[in-house]
Amino acid sequence: MKSNSIIICLVLCVTPSFLAAQSSSTAQNPLHRQYHDGEALVYNMTGVNESWHYAIQADGIVRKDASGAYFEEYRWTNLVSDGQPTPLSPGSDAFRQRLSLDPGQSITPPDLSKADPRLVGPVLDFMTFYADLWLVNKTGQLNHAGDHFYVKVGTPSSWANGSQVILGQSSIDFDLTLKSINPTDRTAVLVVRHVPPDKSQVTLPAAWMQTPVADTPNNWVQVIKLPGKYLASVGQETFTVELTVSLVDGKILSATMDNPVKTIMRMCTDDALTQCDPPQPHEIIRKIQIALVQ
């Protein structure tokens, strides 16, 4: 299974030259984050990741670094896995996730090497919510209800580890819309669609992988090495993220993520992926929700 690669693409593949050309003026941006040192934030997350159902809590505090820049620091607690309270591994106690909605700051993937493996999905999905809003603040293009902006990226992100997963790539663009602004409850709704580009840039090593699985060029591919064989999959990945943001201070109040991956899988006996069983359809379904505890 893939390991939340899309967030790495968002953070690392949006080119610096593109972002440098955009306006990030806070004067007109209704979603601008106004930080207050020491502010506490608590988010409840629930998720469905194929057959895994979970709930978990992110406890955060606003801090200021030596340069005076604000950031949010989170620790993760209260994991409930498939309905059962589940302790995290001891190394997870010291794990902290740093995030920021300040367009002058950067968002980078955290070091999860000492954290409980079950934190990988929640941590990177939480980062996706922040990175999507960070991108909107960085570009400064969504200021009024109905404003729309498209970011072409396409550059593949990878989750291959060189041992079991010998190929794992996804290629996406970003379609951003400020869906609505509600002056009464002082909120805005932002929709960020992570969509297949017109020309996918993922590596497709076998001819049969070129045939589209859905209605766009295949933008997701994975090859897993097994004893004496290879499990090869290809298809279409999309994300739809909807965020409700406070117009008072730019906090994320709630967010949802719908991340389907429509694939076909084939078991192959050669590394060229030409000697394979008939294709089998397989759809990966992930649905994530977060809500700020008021």
DSSP assignment letter at 62:
E
Residues 6+ apart with CB under 8 A from 250: 31, 32, 33, 34, 101, 137
CA distance 62 to 41: 8
What percent of the chain lies above the pLDDT cut of 70? 91
Tell me the C-alpha distance between 103 and 81, whole Å: 35
Which strand (E) or helix (H) includes residue 16? helix 16-20
Q: Does pLDDT of 200 surpass 80?
A: yes
Question: How many CB atoms are closer than 10 A to CB 72?
Answer: 21
pLDDT in tens, 118-163: 998 899 899 999 999 999 999 889 999 999 999 998 899 888 877 7
Percent of the chain with pLDDT over 90: 76
Q: For position 228, what pLDDT does the model report?
A: 95
H-run or E-run covering 8: helix 6-13
Tokens of 13: 């593949």
pLDDT at 191: 98
What pLDDT was estimated at residue 111?
A: 85
Q: For 12-39, write each residue's pLDDT tens digit.
A: 445 444 454 454 445 578 999 999 999 9
Q: What is the mean pLDDT of the chain?
A: 90
What are the domain boundaries of the chain?
A: 6-292
- Nearest Cα to Cα of residue 237 among 40, 35, 5: 5
Q: Please report, as a single letter, which amino acid is at residue 211.
A: T
